[in-house]
Amino acid sequence: MNDAHSFEQARRSIIAVGQRIWRQGWCPATSSNFSQRLDDERCAITVSGRDKGALQDTDIMQVDMQGRSLDGQKPSAETLLHTQLYRRDQSIGAVLHTHSVKATLVSMHADGPVSWQGLELLKAFQGTDSHEGNLTIPVFDNTQDIAALADQVQGWMSVHGTGVAYLIRGHGLYTWGRDMTETLRHLEALEFLLDYYWQTHRLASAGERLMAGDAKA
């Protein structure tokens, strides 16, 4: 596949996934960024500050694996978090960063990594073939110092492996996969799991309040 065809295919893929994610309400305003690997040296990524539900060809740019623009357009500072993943794992073919309400709520209330086990939807993740598996994703504190955030991510992954996702507190979710189709599947499964986690958290809190009220009575 020549470079021009590869970039054109990536643009179509990113535009389509942007519309799908926007319809779910997971990339409000001009938030979020999406990328797809082109080769070992480049990836296609959304230009900073664009409406992800109405992306045009000119809203997708190319950067090298250090996050530097290859066509004069301005990438998001968070581009470095995408290219970090591509450099770390050659099998990663796409990265999606989203800002859903549930991802933000969970990130703000979790006091450490978030885990799930025993759920059928865990089988949506590459490499998991049983509901008996378990999934843990870290939560990193938000910062405008993206290089420092990338260092935190690298530190976690050096110990725990690359995994499939992470949360940034009060900010959003990053997930990735071997191609855009797999990455979107991971995103949809994670949104289900985050909703499940949040509803479980709310039920547990309500139960604690009820028990506290009974004790006072």
List the binding residues for Zn(2+).
Answer: 97, 99
Nearest Cα to 107, choosing from 164, 170, 191? Answer: 170
Residue 108 is encoded by which pair of tokens?
């703000």
Cα 107 from Cα 95, distance rounded (Å): 19
Q: Which parts of 89-160 fold into alpha helices (H)?
A: 101-109, 146-160
Q: CA torsion, points 196, 197, 198, 199, in degrees to nearest 10? A: 50
Residue type, 16: A
Binding region? 97, 99
CA angle 87, 88, 93 (to 5 degrees): 70
Q: Where do we find the tokens 């664009």?
A: 50
